[in-house]
């Protein structure tokens, strides 16, 4: 058991007498008396399960986006009813500018057979593909004439897939047809092949990346996705050095540059990163060890994505977000709606997302984002060129009750996007550490890290400690290799490590596990925002981690006096216990429970405006006990 788990254990022990008395006075529940044991599939079955998860994510993403397109077409018909041709054209142009997957829009007025087409250039394919394209377009027109909606099967033109969708207005006079590019499905599939480690990632040889065994640092060749559980990746011609007596002088740096053939090193905190034009890591290590006797010297590791104002009201109502009821199983699973009666977040509590960046123009994140920072391209904006960071951010704070897309867990916490991973979804120790330190220096109260590696980096740990010492709650994904090997930064004791569960409250088959796991959260087919103003369902501990980061934001909004350690302890001690009673290596202390945790965060005294809800809840619990 890690030191942070022992700390939490002490908190739990303080209430042991009450728990024992409560347990003794009721019959044992069947599920609690026979807790489900987590399954740990072998590599062959693990691959099969991951492939199933990938197909499930692609299928769910397809459904999410078809529902979103249907909603946009209906909205366009309603909002342009009776409008002039010019206003209709302006609306169509704005819709397509914000939603690039809408390849073509056709507006038909059946009263005078007037047809207007926006973005008239249809995709070009073979003669057979072009005939099929026009055939489905004619089918859409025929359906509208019969006052029916229409959705064609998917079809291929060139190298990309498309489908038609058609809607007719309520008055029956106007119809609209849209041609939709389905490239998001390819993006989701490619993303999840990496995120779920179904393929070797990153590719060796690209950007001079090499792999080492996380324990021995011996050379390792990654041939399959499963090999990633033993591997850590680093840049073979770079090295991270911390000098024993602070910083080297200008003259000493010039000597080093001449010796190893390098340009100006990058500096962050007390550490320096040197990139040699001629020497590999082993040669660099020998040079610095023999000549400079550093405090530490280590590879420059890569980190990969691990995808995977109190407004108090009465009884919670389901949000009106389009995709909530049908697709967001994850929020009810952790009592999010009930938790909103206690806290919906505060603009004063910033949640940083150190990731691939965020699509700032996504309509479901409008007003939720701060300017942020780009640690990959100096001076650049933290734009998302992968989709991962946008997805993570939507889980935390997609707009609620805006009739658009999905609902986030927090209504009001601002999200600080920090781009520390590049367009391949990978970043370095330096970029991740820089992102963490920048967020810490610019007001973040919570930092989400849906990324990881299996190498214990002192350099990264220094950055983690820097943020932790500034009273920041750090939350990290455990990893998607179905291994007990500790992943970093999740395994650092200053970080809350999050594993993933499915809709049945079982360990997700891909989720890493181990004694360092603190809590679990939903991580299978999680619907959220995605780049291109679209939506995707992704699986991974990357998706589980932001559930917990968002909860930390709600806690700190409700009770700003709590320290980061107290916030972490509250989340661990107010879970839904899964698996073996108490802490175990598959579920940690259990799956987070937003309502229960926020109740505890509010303290012993219930605010006056919450007193009726608190009494109702206590009466309900008493009635349930008497009925058993």
Active-site positions read 355, 388, 542
The helix/strand count (H/E) of the chain reads as 19, 26
The DSSP line for 587-598 is TBT-EE-HHHHH
Instruction: Please tell me the distance from the alpha carbon of residue 141 to that of residue 480, in angstroms, as a whole number.
Output: 46
The answer for residues whose C-beta is within 8 angstroms of residue 445's C-beta and 6 or more apart is: 349, 350, 351, 471, 472, 473, 552, 553, 556
Instruction: Please tell me the distance from the alpha carbon of residue 585 to that of residue 516, in angstroms, as a whole number.
Output: 7
Q: Which of 223, 193, 227, 212 is nearest to 43 (CA)?
A: 227
Q: Which two tokens stand for residue 300?
A: 């420059």
Q: If you search the block for the tokens 């009810």, which residue do you land on? A: 332
Distances (CA, A) of 268 to 149, 246, 274, 429, 492: 58, 12, 12, 11, 20
Q: Determine contact, residues 248/265, Cβ cutoff 8 Å.
A: no
Q: Which of 70, 67, 88 is nearest to 79 (CA)?
A: 88
Strand partners of residue 476 = 449, 497
Q: If you search the block for the tokens 């489905």, which residue do you land on? A: 136
Q: Which of 528, 521, 523 is nearest to 391 (CA)?
A: 528
Instruction: Please tell me the distance from the alpha carbon of residue 79 to that of residue 164, in angstroms, as a whole number.
Output: 21
In angstroms, the first-to-last Cα distance of the chain is 36
Instruction: Please tell me the distance from the alpha carbon of residue 625 to that of residue 628, in angstroms, as a whole number.
Output: 5
Q: What is the C-alpha R_g of the chain?
A: 26
Instruction: Please tell me the distance from the alpha carbon of residue 594 to that of residue 31, in angstroms, as a whole number.
Output: 21
Q: Give SS3 for 451.
A: strand
Instruction: Please tell me the distance from the alpha carbon of residue 491 to that of residue 577, in angstroms, as a whole number.
Output: 21
The answer for residues whose C-beta is within 8 angstroms of residue 80's C-beta and 6 or more apart is: 87, 88, 91
């Amino acid at each position: 058991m890690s030191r942070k788990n022992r700390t939490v254990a002490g908190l739990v022990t303080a209430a042991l007498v009450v728990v024992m008395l409560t347990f003794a006075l009721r019959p044992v529940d069947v599920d609690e008396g026979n807790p489900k044991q987590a399954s740990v599939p072998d590599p062959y079955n693990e691959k099969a399960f991951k492939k199933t998860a990938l197909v499930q994510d692609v299928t769910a993403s397809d459904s999410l986006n078809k529902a979103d397109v249907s909603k946009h077409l209906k909205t366009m018909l309603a909002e342009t009813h009776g409008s002039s041709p010019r206003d209709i054209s302006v609306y169509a142009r704005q819709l397509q500018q914000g939603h690039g997957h809408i390849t073509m829009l056709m507006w038909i007025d059946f009263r005078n057979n007037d047809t207007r087409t926006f973005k008239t250039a249809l995709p070009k394919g073979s003669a057979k593909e072009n005939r099929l394209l026009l055939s489905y377009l004619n089918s859409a027109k025929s359906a509208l004439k019969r006052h029916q909606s229409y959705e064609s099967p998917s079809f291929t033109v060139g190298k990309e897939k498309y489908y038609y969708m058609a809607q007719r207005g309520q008055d029956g006079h106007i119809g609209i047809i849209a041609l939709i590019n389905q490239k998001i499905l390819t993006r989701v599939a490619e993303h999840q092949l990496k995120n779920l480690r179904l393929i070797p990632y990153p590719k060796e040889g690209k950007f001079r990346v090499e792999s080492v065994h996380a324990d021995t640092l011996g050379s390792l060749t990654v041939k399959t996705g499963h090999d990633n559980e033993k591997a850590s990746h680093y840049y073979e011609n770079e090295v991270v050095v911390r000098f024993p007596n602070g910083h080297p002088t200008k003259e000493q740096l010039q000597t080093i540059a001449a010796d190893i053939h390098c340009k100006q090193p990058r500096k962050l905190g007390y550490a320096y990163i040197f990139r040699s034009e001629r020497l590999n890591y082993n040669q660099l290590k020998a040079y610095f060890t023999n000549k400079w006797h550093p405090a530490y010297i280590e590879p420059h590791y890569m980190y990969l994505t691990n995808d995977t104002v109190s407004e108090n009201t009465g009884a919670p109502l389901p949000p009106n977000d389009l995709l909530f009821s049908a697709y967001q199983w994850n929020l009810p699973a952790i009592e999010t709606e009930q938790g909103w009666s206690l806290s919906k977040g505060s603009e004063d509590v910033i949640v940083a997302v150190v990731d691939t960046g965020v699509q700032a123009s996504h309509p479901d994140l409008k007003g939720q984002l701060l300017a942020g920072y780009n640690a990959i391209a100096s001076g650049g904006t933290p734009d998302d060129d992968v989709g991962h960071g946008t997805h993570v951010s939507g889980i935390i704070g997609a707009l609620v009750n805006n009739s658009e897309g999905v609902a986030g867990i927090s209504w009001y916490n601002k999200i600080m996007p920090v781009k520390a991973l590049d367009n391949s979804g990978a970043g370095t120790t330096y970029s991740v550490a820089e992102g963490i330190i920048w967020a810490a220096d610019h007001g973040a109260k919570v930092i989400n890290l849906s990324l990881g590696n299996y190498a214990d980096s002192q350099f990264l740990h220094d950055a983690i400690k820097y943020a932790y010492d500034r009273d920041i709650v750090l939350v990290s994904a455990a990893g998607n290799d179905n291994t007990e090997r500790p992943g970093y930064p999740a395994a650092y004791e200053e970080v809350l490590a999050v594993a993933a569960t499915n809709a049945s409250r079982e360990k997700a088959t891909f989720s890493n596990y181990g004694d360092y796991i603190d809590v679990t959260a939903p991580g299978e087919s999680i619907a959220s925002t995605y780049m291109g103003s679209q939506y995707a369902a992704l699986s991974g501990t990357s998706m589980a981690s932001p559930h917990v980061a968002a909860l930390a934001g709600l806690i700190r909004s409700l009770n700003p006096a709590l320290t980061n350690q107290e916030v972490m302890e509250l989340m661990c001690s107010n879970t839904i216990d899964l698996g073996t009673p108490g802490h175990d290596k598959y579920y940690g202390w259990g799956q987070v429970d937003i309502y229960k945790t926020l109740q505890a965060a509010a303290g012993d005294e219930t605010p006056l405006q919450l007193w009726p809800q608190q009494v109702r809840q206590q009466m309900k619990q008493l009635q349930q006990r008497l009925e058993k």
